[in-house]
Chain A
Amino acid sequence: MGCEMESDQPEDLDVVLTSMWPEDMNEAGRQFNVERPGGDQDMLEEVTINKEPNIVDFQRLMELTNYSDKGNWQLAKLVKNWEFKQANVVRLLREELDQLSKQQQEVELKKLEILEEHRFEKDGYGGDKRPISILDENLRYLYQDAPKRRKDDVVSQGEIVAIDAEYDSVVYWKQRAMHLEKLLEASLQREQVLVEKLQESIDSLERQSTPVEELSQVLKRADNFLHFVLQNAPVVIGHQDKDMRYRFIFNHFPSLGEQDIIGKTDVEIFTGAGVKESQDFKREVLERGLPAKREITFETELFGSKTFLIYVEPVFSKAGETIGVNYMGMEVTDQVRKREKMAKLREEIAVQKAKETELNKTIHITEETMRAKQMLATMSHEIRSPLSGVVSMTEILATTNLDKEQRQLLKVMLSSGDLVLQLINDILDLSKVESGVMKLEAAKFRPREVVKHVLQTAAASLQKLLTLEGHVAEDVPIEVIGDVLRIRQILTNLISNAIKFTHEGKVGINLYVVPEPSDVNKQGSEKKSRDQSTLSANTNGNGHADNSPSCEESELNNASCDQNGDQMDQDKESRTKAEERVVWIRCDVYDTGIGIPEHAMSTLFKKYMQVGADTARKYGGTGLGLAICKQLVELMGGYLTVSSVEQHGSTFTFVLPYKVSSASDSDDTDELSDTDQLGDDGYDDDLNSGVFLFPPRTLGTLFSSQINGRIPKLLPNSYGNNCNGLLEDSHLPCSNKEGVSEEGSDSSGGAVETASSVPDIDNIRPVAQQEQETASECSSTNRTRVEKSEAKQHKILLVEDNKINIMVAKSMMKQLGYAIDVVSNGAEAVKAVQRSSYHLILMDVCMPVMDGLQATRLIRSFEETGSWDEAVKAGVEMEVTSHQSCLTSQVEETRKRVPIVAMTANTVSESADECYANGMDSFVSKPITLQSLKQCLQRYLV
């Protein structure tokens, strides 16, 4: 029995416990996402919203809830929720009832038990009382363990019955009976209370609030929650009816009152950019019946420039018609700004990247161009040698017996070959200048002679009735230092150009000193003046106009070269003052030709450009000449300009800085390479005469020889390699001597060199002929000439390791009338120099044991210091005894600087630089030819 009781109790408790935890309540609440009131209520109270920023047309809300599906649905949800709650309450109550009835049963059971117990006691006396007390205790314990039990006050059965009487006595039983009776009474009382309570509960149930009230309460709570959430959000929420009039708006930062908004449209409320757009957008949503989002930037007086992300959704009536829109906007100005910034940055990065790729491309193209140029130069170089062969063979062929037709064909061949050669030379020159390989040489030369020779050469080949004239102002120094080859190249180019485009009248050269140009001065006189705008200069720089003004500003050096009578004296004075002074000489090449049209001026100096296609056809040419001239002039630190009047002529002007040789060197002028005035009596006068005139000749004599006709075309070729240009100079006196000597000396002796027509031709023709590469006549004339000078007994040393080269050189020297000593390397050369003194050393550069550069350095070191210490240091075994004798007997001679000419296989300027740097005086390129050798000898052995 007791066991039964025990098992019964927990069961009961379980039920009580489960019912006590309001899980179901929670679930019901969750449907709404609103937590149960109660605990939450407090929180809401804490955040009581004082102001109500939202402005509501409540009537509209009612309409909405009544007429729109959404409103209905919302209401239905509320009702459902309320039903849930009610059901829950009912369930709870029912449980409570169950519990109560259970307790009642229990109590009754107990009553029965007690009765039975009594009976049992009566029957058997003395039953164990303990189980009951234990049971009671247990019960109490268990009840205490469920403190949440609401009806604690009601359930209080478990009291221990305390009886202070002796067990089994009459008093005891009496007391016990009384006690039990009391208990029973209490139980009955409790029952009464419970019944009352039940009744009360039922009453209160009836009294409970109506669903509507409950719902509105819930609504209110949801509303509060919304407020709570929205109170700081930068959002605007609104509802507009189908006329776009506001019926509701929530705005946390309202700048307008309710009356200003409700019932009005956007457009009516505020103006500015974006307002219309937003309204149109809303209308669009309304019409299409589909929700949409859009970003709209407002620019209004009301709140300035702001961007809103607007979400608009249509509201439908039950009939499915749109009756308005819900609208929600969030301010995203900052985000938009950031986004725009990002976009801008991205764009910039993209632009940067594009630029980078562009730049890379450009670099690539530039590299390609450089490579292409290099290749062009190389190719030209490679083409030149075989082409020279072709042309020279053609020349040889032209000397054989040919019939008229063959001769005609050959003539065409020759002229074509010459043209190609010239073109290649031009390209080579140009690419040299452009790639910076072109190195300028600095050598003394006489401007007057250059002018004279250029004119002479031009006159020799002249096929027109033109007067060639030259005028060199008195103030131009006798000698200046510069790259005579290049200057001559420029002059020749300009002159031949002038002749080409002039059909009658004259072509001439004017040379005079000008003050240092101010703009070039700023850059430093040696710098290139690329910026020099040729066109602007040529518009004002006509003739002699712009020389004088800055005369006083210019340096003292230039002041001394002012036009003055005693030029020579002044020159000497200034030479003593400054070792090297710079003088700017202007050279005008003028003609009375067809002139240059104005539109062609800009392209005049561009490569491959001629004035026009017809010009090219008519006059031929490569279009490179002027470009080369300009580049060369700029390379030398000057500038080239042009002025022209169509049909009247052009004047090309270049101004170049020259160093004037220092006084100490002026004694050596006799040995100048440029001059070979052996048989020339009027030598000194010629130096100073500055006027040259070559009057036109009669046509009859002009075309007597076909060979002569084409020589001038060959001329520019000779400028292609470095040494040939000197040729002409050295030949000229030759021809003078050889030709009608009387006439020659007469003409050169006068201040005005007027060669009468017939002797002039005789005089010049051989010159031209000699300029040909075929050196037959040269060598023959040379032999005769050199035989004379053989008496001087020049000692020449050849340093060369190649047997064949030695053999060839020896033979050439023999033919030129010289005997030579030969050694096979640099060390031996040094020893040879120690043994005896030489007038000239021809030095191979690349040799075993010791190369030519080192040998030259050692020899130069000896010349400077008088001792061979350097050579000994370098490992050359010097002969001590002869060294002594050398010093004693030949001190003066030995210490004189011996000319050392390098023989180099590479004709590129770099190795020439190396030669100069190591103390060599010049170089001939290998394989050596009779001509180059002869020139070299003429230059150093006079």
Chain B
Amino acid sequence: MEVQLQRSYLEYCNALFREGFLDGQFVQLQMLRDDSNPDFVMEVVILFFEDSQRILNELSKTLDEQNVDFKKIDANVHQLKGSSSSIGAQRVRNACIAFRSFCDAQDVESCLRCLQQVQQEYLLVKSKLEALLRLEQQIVAAGGVVPTLNDFS
């Protein structure tokens, strides 16, 4: 059971990498988890969820305004880009990069489109990460050790 879970965890992880939801930076996070801080990945990911949700809300609010404050949007997207690249959510990050370029161009329509895309990517990676975290919890609950990817490398 435990081994089964661990294997599916690894498989799921690899699938996430393969499909480009995550990149090497996530491995970095996993590497940072140790005995003194076993929930590190979860903490960071949850912080990411909170922060991203806040930024996304703010973005849609700002974009709805009559006079769009592009500076504000740019700062927010920059934040989101920073956080997403920090946890390795590279599809969100890539969407942010595109977003910023339209922000520079002050193109409201494209910005709205980008926001949608970023939201979509965010929700996708969120569900994936949640599933991953659930798997982790199951492993822990089963008394196993969450296999960090670098355990084998």
Enumerate chain A interface residues (CB-CB to B < 8 A). Answer: 385-386, 388-390, 392-393, 395-397, 399-400, 773-776, 779, 801-805, 807-808, 811-812, 814-815, 846, 848, 905, 926-927, 929-930
Contacts and interface: CB of A to CB of B under 8 A. Distances in A.
A396 B152 contact: yes
A839 to B, nearest CB: 22
B86 A805 contact: yes
Contacts of A811: 32, 37, 40, 44
Interface in B17-66: 17-18, 20, 23-25, 27-29, 31-32, 34, 36-37, 40, 43-44, 47-48, 51
Given A811-B44, A929-B25, 10 more contacts: A385-B90, A803-B47, A804-B47, A804-B48, A808-B32, A811-B40, A848-B75, A905-B85, A927-B28, A929-B24
Contacts of A389: 17-18, 20, 23-24
Contact of A396 (B14, B48, B83): B14
Contacts of A803: 47, 51, 83
B44 A773 contact: no
B78 interface: yes
19 contacts: A385-B23, A385-B90, A388-B24, A390-B18, A397-B14, A399-B152, A399-B153, A775-B31, A775-B150, A776-B150, A804-B47, A804-B83, A804-B87, A805-B86, A808-B28, A808-B86, A808-B87, A811-B32, A815-B34
Secondary structure type dominating chain A contacts: helix
Given A385-B90, A811-B37, A930-B31, A805 B82 contact: yes
Interface string B134-153: 00000000000000011111
B81 to A, nearest CB: 7
B79 interface: yes
A802 B85 CA distance: 11
Contacts of B20: 386, 389
A804 B14 contact: no
Given A389-B20, A396-B14, A776-B150, A927 B51 contact: no
B32 A812 contact: yes
B59 to A, nearest CB: 16
Secondary structure type dominating chain B contacts: helix
Given A386-B20, A389-B23, A395-B153, A807 B82 contact: no
A804 B82 contact: yes
A393 B85 contact: no
A848 B71 CA distance: 11
Contacts of B23: 385-386, 388-389
A811 B82 CA distance: 16
B28 A392 contact: no
A231 B140 CA distance: 126
A805 B83 contact: yes
A846 B80 CA distance: 13
Interface in B71-118: 75, 78-79, 81-83, 85-88, 90
A853 to B, nearest CB: 15
B152 A400 contact: yes
A711 B116 CA distance: 42
A388 B78 CA distance: 24
A738 B34 CA distance: 23
A175 to B, nearest CB: 132
B86 to A, nearest CB: 5
Contacts of B82: 802, 804-805, 905, 926
A848 B78 CA distance: 11
Contacts of B87: 804, 808
A386 B22 CA distance: 10
Given A804-B86, A905-B82, A929 B28 contact: yes
Contact of A776 (B17, B24, B43, B153): B153
Contact of A815 (B32, B81, B153): B32
Nearest to A807: B44
A65 B125 CA distance: 115
B17 A393 contact: yes
